[in-house]
Amino acid sequence: MHIEEIRDYCLSKPAVTECFPFDEDTLVFKVAGKMFALSALEKSANIVLKCDPERAIRLREEFPEIEGAYHMNKTMWNQISLNGAVPKNLIIELIDHSYSLVVEKMPKKLRAENRI
């Protein structure tokens, strides 16, 4: 899966925006202002996604291409290589999972305001 596909998919979700808050290379996707995915555009082909801690451990055991995210809380964030070894449908599922985890923590009022 390529970053263009990931970008299109992330932006198709309700209340999602993209920005470069860290540097010119790190693309960040936010839902109602809260980060749920990020990817370095030039340095490496990977995506960083929030994940349930127990599921994160299972994924890391099953796929060597999934590891604790660099510079993030490794309990809650996975870095996934986009080298083709992780199935596209799983990457899509993990994007959805990350998005849902962030939305679930939002106050109902914020969810309603953003139609999430």
* pLDDT per 10-residue tile (average), the chain, 116 residues: 92 97 94 95 86 96 95 92 93 98 95 91
Dihedrals phi, psi of 72, to nearest 5 degrees: -130, 170
- Distance CA(8)–CA(58), nearest Å, equals 28
Class of domain 3-113: alpha beta
Structure tokens of 77?
């964030």
Cα distances from 16 to residues 36, 39, 71, 98, 100, in angstroms, run: 9, 15, 23, 12, 12
Rounded to 5 degrees, what angle do the CA atoms 54, 14, 70 make? Answer: 40
37: helix, strand or coil: strand
Residues 6 and 95 sit within 8 Å (Cβ to Cβ): yes
What pLDDT was estimated at residue 26? Answer: 92
Tell me, what's the pLDDT at 106?
95
Give the pLDDT confidence score for residue 2 in this predicted structure. Answer: 86
- pTM assigned to the model: 0.94
Give the pLDDT of residue 73: 86
The reported pLDDT for the residue numbered 40 is 86
**pLDDT at position 79, please?**
96
pLDDT at position 101, please? 97
